[in-house]
């Protein structure tokens, strides 16, 4: 039996029937259709009941107030009860239950209707197409006596589309149905249909929600409050509230916060990430761009884990921007200053600092003092807050010499507004070789022998110039691998749970593998891949431009 690919009724609504002449028609097969036609034609003769008409077929995909006798799609028998329960919830949510049936389902509140549908679709993915078809049916030629029945069916569809995608088989029909409704300005549901289409495209791209939503979230979306005011931190403790919807993914938040600090290019936005910091968890990884924010927060709230979401720069490939707004400088300054004062950027070769490092550190000390909004020159007692720890531990220069050097730069620093002082700190430190690095504690085996060699501590620094293994105290470079020499990285976990990272370098003819013990091997490998991709894209652009 051939079923038309698209049929329109007198109202102009697009119907969701499929064009297929095979016995594997995705929607109703001959037997199921005849059963429905027989049940709905009790006043007709027996001969008429065994005949089908185009009107009878189109009625199957139009709105109805009565309960379904069977699912709209071919489903295993075990899925019939939840499929029919979903349709009851759809009708109850839309206000279409007849009085007798409404009295039997007094417990079906709006929230319970939505939650039941979402729970079934989460636990049984095969039901998602069925519910989409039910909602397409209830939004086609809706003749309900409830004034907002059709609009509420569209709202429920928008909620479903924000959480779950559909099968590849249904996708073209569903997209066509939503596109037609979203493009028709004469229809009152146009705006909601456009939201449905946008939500569906997001779930098709990102895969849909992974976790069951909280009751609070379902309560909000069922009441039409689709956005939640979620708090996000910036480096330094500043906070921003961003409206976060049930379909919001991490990349949406990164893009919005990048826009806030004046970063508009897609390539530069790729260098910023959103991290979830969980109390008691020493290791952190940036959240994946296609991860749903409310999936993350709901799971942590259910487990009663204190957490916060922080936006920061994870890769430093693009140079500092001179034309950026103050918030851009504020974010990067608050991210760099702690690493600088901890001494991570400082190289102390042979136990002494070079003249250029001493000069820059004295200037930065004066600028840091001014960046804090202080109007008086720094005292000697302030130096412990203004100089990196490794420089304070040196025999030379002595404290009075550091104080005198910082005082020389104070007249210049005092004339600057604090935001400009912060910008100059970044400018000075950007000349240092370890600026813009991500630092990790690692161990590497050195030598060989009966005991397999000696494990030595290193600081691994990742920046735009490559991978550096540094001496843990002096930060002198022991080994440097440019990204052009990296062939691959591979994570290995031993039987006792120790995590290693194998770094393969060299050429196709000559290769060498270095094994590093690193608790953050996953994050190191991720950053290496990102830097390699950025440099490859840059070479590609230069190749085209030349």
The domain that holds 285 is classified in CATH as: 3.10.20.90
Q: What percentage of residues in the chain have a pLDDT greater than 90?
A: 65
Q: Are residues 126 and 236 in the same domain?
A: no
pLDDT at 19 over 80: no
Summarize the confidence of residues 528-532 as an average pLDDT: 91
One domain for residues 181 and 49: yes
Q: What pLDDT is stored for residue 223 in this prediction? A: 76
User: What's residue 281's pLDDT?
Assistant: 79
Same domain, 305 and 343: no
38 and 162 housed in the same domain: yes
Has residue 409 been placed in a domain?
yes
pLDDT at 376 over 80: yes
- Residue 4 inside a domain? The answer is no
* CATH code of the domain covering residue 199: 1.25.40.530
Span 347-351, average pLDDT:
87
Average of pLDDT values for 39-51? Answer: 49
194 and 234 in one domain? no
pLDDT value, residue 37: 41
Number of domains in the chain: 4
pLDDT at 133: 96
**Predicted local distance difference test score (pLDDT) of residue 447:** 67
CA distances from 328 to 256, 272, 429 (A): 13, 12, 16
Question: Dihedral sign, CA of 71, 75, 80, 85?
Answer: negative
Q: Are 242 and 323 in contact (CB under 8 A)?
A: no
pLDDT digits (tens, 9 = 90+) for 432-441: 999 999 999 9
Question: What confidence score (pLDDT) does residue 416 get?
Answer: 96
Over the range 47-82, which residues count as b (16 or more CB within 10 Å of their CB) and which as e?
Answer: eebeeeeeeebbbbbbbbbeebeebbbbbeeebeeb
Residue 43 domain-assigned? yes
Q: Is residue 80 domain-shared with residue 172, that is, in the same domain?
A: yes
**Chain-wide mean pLDDT for the chain?**
86
Burial (0-12, 13-18, 19+ Cβ within 10 Å), 85: middle
Same domain for 260 and 147:
no
158-175: pLDDT as tens digits: 999 999 999 999 999 999
Residue 17's pLDDT is 36
Q: Which of 171, 203, 222 is the last residue of a domain?
A: 222
Pair 138, 82 in one domain:
yes
What local confidence, expressed as pLDDT, does residue 452 receive? Answer: 61
| 22 falls within a domain | no
Mean pLDDT (whole number) for 242-268: 93
The answer as to whether 241 is a domain residue is: yes
- pLDDT at position 507, please? 80
Is residue 23 assigned to a domain? Answer: no
Q: What is each CA distance from 109 to 325, 424, 474, in whole angstroms?
A: 49, 60, 66
How confident is the model at residue 280, as a pLDDT? 79
* Listed range (35-39, 83-87, 180-184, 305-309) with the worst mean pLDDT: 35-39
Q: What CATH number did the domain enclosing 524 receive? A: 2.30.29.30
pLDDT for 324? 82
Residue 94 confidence (pLDDT) above 70: yes
- Quickly count helices (H) and strands (E) in the chain: 20, 11
User: At which of 179, 196, 222 does a domain end?
Assistant: 222
Confidence of residue 510 (pLDDT cuts 50, 70, 90): confident
pLDDT at 55: 66
Q: What is the pLDDT, as a whole number, of residue 509? A: 80
The residue out of 202, 222, 242 marking a domain boundary is 222
| Residue range(s) defining the domain that contains residue 264 | 227-313
Q: How many angstroms separate the CA atoms of 206 and 165, rounded? A: 9
Classify residue 415: in a domain, yes or no. yes
pLDDT of residue 213: 83
452-472: pLDDT as tens digits:
678 899 999 999 999 999 999
Mean pLDDT, range 111-135, rounded to an integer: 95
Assign residue 395 the CATH number of its domain: 1.20.80
**499-520: average pLDDT:** 90
Examine the pLDDT at 41 and tell me if it is beyond 70: no
Instruction: Check whether residue 160 and residue 278 sit in a common domain.
Output: no
pLDDT confidence of 451, banded at 50, 70, 90? low
- CA atoms of 134 and 63, how far apart (whole Å): 9
pLDDT score for 377: 94
- Partners of 444 in the β-ladder: 456, 516
What CA–CA distance (Å, rounded) separates 516 from 347?
22
Tokens found for residue 138: 């209830």
- The pLDDT-based confidence of 204 (bands split at 50, 70, 90) is very high
Sign, CA torsion 202/204/210/215: positive
* 30 vs 134: which has the higher pLDDT: 134
pLDDT at 312: 94
| Residue 34: band (very low, low, confident or very high) from pLDDT cuts 50, 70, 90 | very low
37 and 79 in a common domain = yes
Phi, psi at residue 480, to the nearest 5°? -130, 125
Lowest mean pLDDT among 1-10, 104-113, 467-476: 1-10
Tokens of 422: 């912060």
| 4 has pLDDT over 80 | no
- Give the mean model confidence (pLDDT) for residues 505-527: 90
What's the CA gap between 234 and 77, in Å, rounded?
A: 52
| Confidence (pLDDT) at 544 | 47
Which is more confident, 448 or 383?
383
Check pLDDT > 90 for residue 75.
yes
- pLDDT on residue 36: 43
Residue closest to 530 by CA, chosen among 317, 244, 280, 239: 317
Q: In the structure, what pLDDT confidence band is assigned to residue 363 with cuts at 50, 70 and 90?
A: very high
Is 182 part of any domain?
yes
Q: Give the C-alpha separation, 139 to 187, whole Å.
A: 11
Considering only CA atoms, which of 115, 129, 31, 130 is closest in space to residue 83? 130
Whether residue 387 sits in one domain with residue 331:
yes
Q: Are 118 and 156 in contact (CB under 8 A)?
A: no
Least confident of 10-14, 70-74, 134-138, 334-338: 10-14
Task: Convert the pLDDT of each residue in 285-318 to its tens digit.
Answer: 899 999 999 999 988 888 888 999 999 999 999 9
88 with 212, same domain: the answer is: yes
């Amino acid at each position: 039996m051939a079923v038309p690919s698209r049929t329109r009724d007198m109202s102009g609504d697009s119907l969701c029937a499929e064009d297929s002449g095979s016995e594997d028609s995705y929607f109703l097969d001959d037997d199921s259709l005849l059963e429905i036609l027989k049940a709905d034609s009790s006043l007709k003769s027996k001969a008429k009941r065994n005949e089908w008409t185009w009107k009878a077929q189109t009625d199957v995909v139009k709105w109805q107030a009565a309960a379904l006798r069977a699912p709209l799609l071919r489903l295993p028998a075990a899925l019939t009860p939840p499929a029919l329960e979903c349709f009851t919830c759809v009708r109850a949510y839309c206000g279409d239950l007849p009085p007798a049936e409404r009295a039997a389902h007094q417990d079906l509140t709006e929230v319970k209707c939505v939650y039941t549908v979402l729970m079934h679709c989460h636990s049984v993915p095969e039901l998602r197409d069925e519910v989409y078809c039910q909602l397409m049916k209830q939004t086609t030629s809706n003749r309900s006596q409830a004034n907002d029945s059709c609009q509420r069916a569209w709202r429920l569809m928008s909620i479903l589309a924000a959480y779950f995608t559909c099968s590849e088989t249904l996708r073209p029909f569903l997209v066509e149905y939503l596109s037609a409704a979203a493009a028709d300005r004469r229809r009152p549901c146009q705006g909601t249909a456009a939201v449905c289409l946008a939500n569906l495209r997001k779930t098709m791209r990102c895969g849909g929600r992974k976790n069951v939503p909280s009751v609070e979230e379902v309560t909000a979306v069922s009441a039409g409050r689709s956005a939640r005011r979620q708090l996000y931190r910036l480096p330094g403790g500043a906070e921003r509230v961003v409206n976060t919807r049930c379909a919001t993914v991490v990349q949406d938040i990164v893009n919005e916060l990048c826009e806030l600090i004046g970063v508009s290019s897609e390539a530069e936005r790729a260098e910023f990430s959103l991290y979830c910091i969980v109390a008691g968890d020493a290791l952190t990884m940036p959240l994946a761009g296609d991860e749903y924010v409310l999936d993350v927060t709901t799971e942590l709230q259910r487990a009663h884990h204190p957490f916060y979401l922080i936006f920061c720069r994870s890769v430093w490939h693009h140079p500092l921007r001179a034309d950026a707004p103050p918030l851009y400088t504020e974010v990067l300054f608050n991210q760099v200053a702690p690493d600088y004062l901890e001494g991570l950027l400082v190289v102390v070769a042979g136990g002494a600092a070079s003249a250029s490092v001493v000069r820059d550190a004295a200037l930065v000390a004066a600028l840091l003092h001014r960046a804090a909004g202080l109007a008086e020159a720094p005292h000697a007692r302030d130096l412990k807050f203004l100089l990196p720890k490794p420089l304070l531990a040196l025999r030379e220069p002595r404290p009075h010499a550091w104080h005198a050097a910082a005082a020389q730069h104070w007249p210049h620093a005092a004339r600057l507004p604090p935001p400009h002082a912060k910008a100059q700190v970044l400018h000075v430190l950007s000349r240092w070789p370890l600026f813009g690095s991500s630092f990790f504690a690692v161990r590497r085996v050195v030598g060989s022998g009966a005991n397999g060699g000696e494990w030595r501590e290193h600081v691994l620094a990742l920046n735009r110039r490559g991978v550096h293994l540094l001496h843990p105290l002096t930060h002198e470079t022991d080994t440097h691998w440019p990204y052009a020499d990296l062939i691959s990285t591979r994570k290995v976990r031993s039987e006792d749970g120790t995590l290693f990272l194998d770094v393969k370098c060299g050429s196709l003819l000559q290769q060498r593998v270095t094994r590093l013990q690193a608790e953050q091997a996953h994050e190191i490998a991720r950053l290496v891949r990102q830097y390699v991709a950025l440099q490859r894209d840059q070479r590609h652009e230069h190749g085209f431009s030349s």
